Structure 1
Amino acid sequence: MPNVDRHGLVKPTPPDLMEDTGSGLDYGTRPDRMFGDIVGTDRFFVRSHADTPVIDAADWKLQITGDGVRQAVSLGYNDLRTNFPLTSIVRTIECAGNRRVQFGLEVGQTFEGTQWGRTAIGTAEWTGVRLRDLLESAGITADASEVVPESLDAIRARRPLPLAKALADDTIVAWAMNGEELPPDHGFPARLVVSGWLGAASIKWLGRIDVATQHVEVPWNTIDYVMIGPGYPAAGDQARGPAITEPALSSLVELPWPARLCPGPQIIRGRAFAGEARVTSVDYRIDDHAWQSATITSSGEPGVWARWQLRWDAQPGEHVLRVRAADDRGRVQPDSTPWNELGYMHESVLAHPISVGDNP
């Protein structure tokens, strides 16, 4: 195992690109600074539970162990890059606590945890190797049931995956992001990317992957990243509630909050995300007018957000824009979100304030 130092975050987090949550480690992407389908690495949101570890790739090893493999395997950085088929995927990652601030305003309380606004979501191109190929090099046993990746940061984060999800074509161990070497804050030298699941499943700074033949309970699927409250029964021996897998269905307007616009015809853009499902429609409503259909401008395939746009002839005054997404499972964003203790999975239609005047 390599020597690991720590020194906070590495990349700059300028306020014109990123929103400071106040934790010192967690910074979101300003929605008005998202331009293409892919979010630039310089502004991609950062969610960390401890300082970014400093890892020397020359010393780094990825250990594959557990009672669910026939032999333990140790892979170096060059092994990862040269000994397995290469794959690239475009996938969206979202923290389960995204929009926690809006959730708190909705129910009249402040939730514990990172105070995310709308900014803990981003899409990138991830390049690496399929997790399946790495596991097969160790020989998966017939009774293997869960895969448990572990990070090299100070808390040694672990989040179990069912074997079927670990073996999916689009679950990968990435060593590049947006065509460049994976940056330190985003998991160098290698991280997991779990398509359509909450960001906590995409473990950064991978150091070990255990394959287990039994269900594994860790803090990240029993105490944190679980739904606690009425309607959420405890699951497992220690779990306080059901573990979160996919993030909530949600939509995002690419404007500041609140927004200021000039009068006249406008094109307003945004994104919608449905986890492992596909976004099928996006509707919008200005003030108390009827709901109308926005135009979806990208496919919004499972695991990737859909981009949308609408045309509005903005008149001077104070307005409210509401946007709701629907997916191919028949889900539609509701007007309110059932309460849970940790403020996760906020999916409500947001009332986005917009002031239209001559001097935005």
Structure 2
Amino acid sequence: MSYHPGIFKPLPAKYFRHPEEGGATNVETRLSRLPGYLTPNRQFFVRSHFDIPELAAADWQLTLTGDALSREQSLSLADLEQLPRISVIRAIECAGNARAFFARDFGKAAEGAQWRLGAVGVAEWSGVRLRDVLALAGVAEDAFHVLPEGLDSGRFARPLPIDKALADDTTIALAMNGEPLPIDHGFPARLVVSGWLGAASVKWLGRIEVSREARNTYWNTKDYTLAGPDYPAEGEADGIPITTMPVMSLVDLDDDARLPAGKTMLRGRALSGEGQITDVECRLDDGDWQAAILHTPNIAGAWVCWSLTCQLDPGRHVLYVRARDDRGHEQPERMVWNDHGCCYNAVTRVNIEAAE
């Protein structure tokens, strides 16, 4: 096994933006160039914490271990292929998506890669249920934490509670949009944890520990937490460990987009962790909120595409968008500061220049 410090797939500027302080392994999708509901593999954002492992499928092994298993097990790809195959359409969104807007709102940047709105994508993930894999090793009734670990150079790992690990749609994905997983997205196997922050969907999966006790790591105690003056510490964590992602709306435009004046159709997407979007509303400048049309499909745990036809007068405008889900969650007018700059989901604002 060898490691690559960057990203393997081509990164044309028309498809990607590099977030400030993002490092060599982070790029976000330009939402303005998405062609349909699913995010094509070549346009899917990339977030990696450590150097990427170059793995051979024939040599890959998944080790199941821990005191809440009846036996330790090592599985090959051929072993996984013997299990029932499933496919789920789900979003993966970095918890730091939209982090750059903390600087706009608070006058200071939160720590981490300064993503705008493109650290998110929706794909069809095909593979096997995590619970079916763990069942091969016999899961104890008092199992508490499941700790997946990647084969990247830093062995990234973040725990799941046992009920989320055994959920019907928690998947070990072997394919993405009908193709073998690209190396940037976890080849040959990755976890897909529906509705949770992207860090839970560990890439280049190599080891899973099932424990009767908590198996916390840096990534759910010192990062990927809501920490700061308004968030109390929880146990070992410096704040509240992030799990389900909040409701969020996106616009299929680059900021400061130039559009023709006159009757114009605006488009975007909205998503909400494990929930389903029920409403999207838009407002131009100081005008009234208008209900956008929601299109099919509208998949819980993924997103829905929306559109709105409006009249754009020549000049500069600000488009505001807010979404609501079936659990009563909606985007707030403003955010509460958190030190790690996670889970930004205040009403979305995009600047538009309308020209004759």
Specify if TM > 0.5. yes
Secondary structure, counterpart of 1:297 in structure 2: strand
**2:141, 2:244 → 1: CA distance?**
27
- What amino acid does structure 2 have at the position aligned with 1:175? L
The residue type equivalent to 1:70 in the other structure is S
Equivalent pair of 2:5/2:25 in contact (CA under 8 Å): no
How far apart are 1:278 and its partner, in Å?
A: 1.4
Q: Could you tell me whether the CA contact under 8 Å between 1:150 and 1:203 is conserved in 2?
A: yes
Structure 1: distance between partners of 2:15 and 2:330: 30
Alpha-carbon displacement from aligned partner over 1:1-22 (angstroms, at most 9, x marks no partner): xx33334211111111011124
Match for residue 317 of structure 1 among 304, 315, 318: 315
1:5-154 map, 5 Å:
5-21=3-19, 22-80=22-80, 82-154=81-153
The 8 Å contact of residues 95 and 245 in structure 2, kept in 1 or not, is answered as: yes
1:1-360 equivalence runs, <5 A: 3-21=1-19, 22-80=22-80, 82-236=81-235, 238-358=236-356
Q: Work out whether residues 273 and 300 of structure 1, in 8 Å CA contact, stay in contact via their aligned partners in 2.
A: no
- CA deviations on 1:246-281 (whole Å, 9 max, x unpaired) are 122110000110111012221111001110111110
Find the aligned partners of 2:149 and 2:54 in 1 and give their Cα distance. Answer: 16
Tell me if structure 2 keeps the 8 A contact 1:128–1:175: yes
Contact 1:9 1:51 in 2 (8 A): no
Given that residues 18 and 27 in structure 1 are in contact (C-alpha distance below 8 angstroms), is that contact kept between their aligned partners in structure 2? yes
Look up the equivalent residue of 1:46 and give its one-letter code. Answer: V
SS in 2 for 1:158: coil
The CA distance in 1 between the partners of 2:287 and 2:274, in whole Å, is 32
Deviation per residue, 1:87-145 (Å, 9 max, x gap): 00100010000001012211110122111111100000000000010000110011111
Shift of 1:218: 0.6
Deviations 1:208-232 (A, max 9, x none): 0000101111101100101111232
Secondary structure in structure 2 of the residue aligned to 1:5: strand
Return 344-353 or 175-184, whichever deviates more.
344-353
The separation in 2 between residues aligned to 1:284 and 1:5, in whole angstroms, is 45
Cα distance, 1:155 vs structure 2: 0.9
Please report how far the alpha carbon of residue 350 of structure 1 lies from its aligned counterpart in structure 2 after TM superposition.
2.6
- Amino acid of the residue matched to residue 328 of structure 2? G
Write the distance in 1 (CA, Å) between the matches of 2:96 and 2:256: 21
**2:86·2:129 contact (CA, 8 Å) conserved in 1?**
yes
State the Cα deviation string for residues 267-305 of structure 1 (Å, max 9, x = none): 111001110111110011111111110011134332111
- Distance in 2 between the 1:331 and 1:299 partners? 20
- In structure 1, runs of 5+ residues without a counterpart are none
CA apart distance, 1:322: 0.4
Which structure has the highest strand share of the two? 2
Partner letter of residue 269 of structure 1? Answer: R
Residues 43-52 or 349-358, more deviating: 349-358
After TM superposition, what 4+ stretches of structure 1 lie above 3 angstroms from structure 2?
none
SS in 2 for 1:302: coil
Cα separation, 2, equivalents of 1:98 and 1:298: 24
State how far apart, in whole Å, the 2-side matches of 1:6 and 1:352 are.
Answer: 36
Taking structure 2 as the reference length, what is the TM-score of the superposition? 0.97
Would the aligned equivalents of 1:104 and 1:343 in 2 still touch at CA under 8 Å?
Answer: no
Letter in 1 for 2:262: G
Matches of 1:318 and 1:7 in 2, distance apart? Answer: 41
- Is the Cα–Cα contact under 8 Å of residues 40 and 178 in structure 1 kept in the other structure? yes
Residue pair 2:110, 2:338 contacting (<8 A) in 1 also? no
Which runs of 5 or more residues in structure 2 are unaligned? none
For residues 134-177 of structure 1, the C-alpha deviation after alignment (integer angstroms, 9 at most, x for no partner) is 00011001111111000000110111001110111110000100
Whether contact under 8 Å (1:223, 1:240) holds in the other structure is: yes
